[in-house]
Chains A and B, each alone.
Chain A
Amino acid sequence: MSGFGPVSAFYVLAVLSIGSALAVMAARSIIHAVLFLVLFFVSLAAMFVLLSADFVAVAQLLVYAGAIGVLVVFAILLTPSRDRRGMETKFVGPGLLAGAVVAGTVVFIAFNTNWDTASNDFPSTVDAIGQALLNRWALPFEIASVLLIAAMIGAIVVVGGRGVDLDTHAAGPATRLVRRER
């Protein structure tokens, strides 16, 4: 891959994605962390475009930036605000070490392997992906749909429950708080 556009785009996106991933680590507020995470997803989607994986890039944008980002926001708002502070455990140092070791190993392997390189430039990945999904990988495709349904039902069962019971709730702490305030 060469030429002014792709090369400059690669470096910009590499810096952006690594920077935003680090910012997720460094962010003080968990909401900021989510926003940086979404920036990371978007920059990675742009990187996928660079790899001429346009369909995957759009799917990444749709699923990660659109759905999972929003899901994480909902999860944060549904959980207590006191857990949003003091976020690091004592494993910061060891965690960094572990991450560095893994990353170093992969980089070492990447540079010490003799890759059988080629340049597979897909003109249009949509047709190819469609053909592949419905022919060779039809069974995994169906299983994935079953998995999604199972996950959906599972999430509903885990979170769901009865709705808010007004009779018990009206006399609950919230009401008492208002009364006291008066």
Chain B
Amino acid sequence: MTALCGYVLSEWYDLRDLGNPVQALLDWINGWGDGSTFHWLAYVVAGLIGAAAIGLFLGIAMLSLIWIERKAVSRIQIRYGPNRTGPFGLLQPVADALKLMQKEALTPLAGDKYVFWLAPVVIFIPTLLVFGVLPFGPKMTAANINVAVLYIVAVGSATPLVIFMAGWSSNNKYSLLGAMRGIAMAISYEIPMVLSLLGVVLFTGHMDLNGIVQWQQKYHVWLIVLQPLAALTYFISASAELNRTPTDIAEAESEIVAGYHTEYSGMKFGLFYAVELGNALAVSGIWATLFFGGWWLFGLDRWIPAWLIFLGKMYILYGALILTRGTLPRLRIDQLLDFAWKFLLPLALVNVLVVAAEVTIWQENGISAGWVLPIAAVINIVLSGVLIVGYTQTFGFARRQRPRRARLVTDTLAAMPQ
């Protein structure tokens, strides 16, 4: 069996990693002519394949996510959810998309027409760029750049400006309020996000995502065990920028109608909606890669295609986002910013400090990983538990002002306060 496996490994028909057939195709093109005349063609073809693959994947993923999300949320809300279009409402996303496409795309008369038109298009770019570096398999990365972790943050930092474009060009007060809220939130949450990623980078010594996955494979551990605090802070701060319910202040429906995309209709609104889903999927993908082993699953990735493992993890972690969306009310903007600066930032800083100490002890003394990693895991888990519980007990809102039941009075006039 192992021999068979080794024989199949890395041949073009080894579909456990779709990078193999692509590589074979590129090698074949490179082989044309005298060996270097067609390099430019291989260059172009590689780019086209990467772009087409990401585009196709995102299209299918968004269609599936619309259905999954609507169905899951309706289960949370004791409803059936879409069940009229196709079996189990499976065609609902298609119907949604068709509806959006045939709607009139309005443009505010006093708005900035060009910027208004450009914003929904430009907001798609960061989403697509993030998917460019996600390792779907050992060789399935469209662009394996060696500063990928920083790149993800940098690309994501362009989003608030696009939100501002949308909000400002709409010439609508709700839109402008939403845009400014979105910018303020994105700036605040970027810092704990970068710091939590720094913990991962310190531990693994890699900044490229594939390297981080291979590190987890090498030491046979998921990073969430070693970095629970970083995983938590990353999840909260990254999902805060997604404009989903606990933190959707930029498009808070009950307050500012739809925030920065109030004026958008038709497919332009559809693009914002798709970007929201795409960003959520990207965050769960990054979370899966950094903290849940990416395409690696305790050796099972030998038998199951790596990209299937990755997709499975991605969708399961997306479920966490659906759960928070369906269950939590929204925070106010000042509370949300307080949360970033007063809770996430200190925790992330403590995490970086602890990780730096652990890694220094580990590397300087040359202790074997078999000793260091379990001890570090125990220390970090205990530490994160203590920190979180301690914080909520000391500064939490519910503890300070413990919810009471209403006082029950039986007589109306006797109990009148003076």
Contacts and interface: CB of A to CB of B under 8 A. Distances in A.
B157 interface: yes
Interface stretch (B10-18, B142-150, B348-356): B142-150
Given A31-B168, A54-B147, A70-B187, A65 B158 contact: yes
B271 interface: no
The size bracket of the interface on A is 20 to 34
A72 B158 CA distance: 14
B180 A77 contact: yes
Interface string A130-149: 00000000000000000000
B179 to A, nearest CB: 9
Contacts of A66: 154, 157-158, 160-161, 190
B147 A65 contact: no
A13 interface: no
Contacts of B146: 54, 124, 126
A4 interface: yes
B155 interface: yes
B207 interface: yes
B183 A3 contact: no
A62 B150 contact: yes
B157 A31 contact: no
Nearest to A34: B161
B153 interface: yes
24 contacts: A4-B43, A29-B112, A31-B168, A35-B165, A54-B146, A54-B147, A55-B150, A61-B151, A61-B154, A61-B157, A62-B150, A62-B157, A66-B161, A66-B190, A69-B161, A70-B160, A70-B187, A73-B164, A74-B183, A77-B180, A124-B146, A126-B146, A126-B147, A126-B207
Contact of A3 (B39, B155, B190): B39
Contacts of A3: 39-40
A42 B161 CA distance: 13
B115 A32 contact: yes
A62 B43 contact: no
Given A38-B161, A70-B187, A73-B161, A62 B115 contact: no
A108 B207 CA distance: 41
A58 interface: yes
B115 A31 contact: yes
Contacts of B147: 54-55, 58, 126
A70 B182 CA distance: 11
A67 B157 contact: yes
Interface string A46-68: 00000000110011011001110
B190 to A, nearest CB: 7
Interface in B22-55: 39-40, 43
A127 B112 CA distance: 45
B115 A35 contact: yes
A31 B167 CA distance: 12
Contacts of B155: 61
Contact of A61 (B39, B158, B160, B165): B158
A5 interface: yes
Interface in A24-46: 29, 31-32, 35, 38, 42
Contacts of B154: 58-59, 61-62, 65-66
A90 B183 CA distance: 36
Nearest to A123: B146
Interface in A70-108: 70, 73-74, 77
Contacts of B43: 4-5
B215 to A, nearest CB: 16
Contacts of B164: 70, 73
Given A4-B39, A69-B161, A124-B146, 13 more contacts: A4-B40, A5-B43, A29-B112, A32-B112, A32-B115, A38-B158, A42-B158, A58-B151, A65-B158, A66-B154, A70-B164, A73-B164, A126-B207
Contacts of A55: 147, 150
Contacts of B190: 66
A75 B107 CA distance: 27
A73 B157 contact: no
Contacts of B112: 29, 31-32
Most chain A CB within 10 A, of B39, B40, B153, B164, is at B164
Interface string B334-345: 000000000000
Contacts of A77: 180
A126 B145 CA distance: 11
A29 B183 CA distance: 21
Interface string B165-204: 1001000000000001001000100100000000000000
A74 B115 CA distance: 18
Contacts of A62: 150, 153-154, 157
Nearest to A60: B154
B157 A65 contact: yes
Nearest to B151: A58
A149 to B, nearest CB: 14
A50 to B, nearest CB: 13
A67 B187 contact: yes
Contacts of A124: 146
Nearest to A72: B161
A155 to B, nearest CB: 14
Interface string A1-32: 00111000000000000000000000001011
A54 B143 CA distance: 13
Interface string B218-234: 00000000000000000
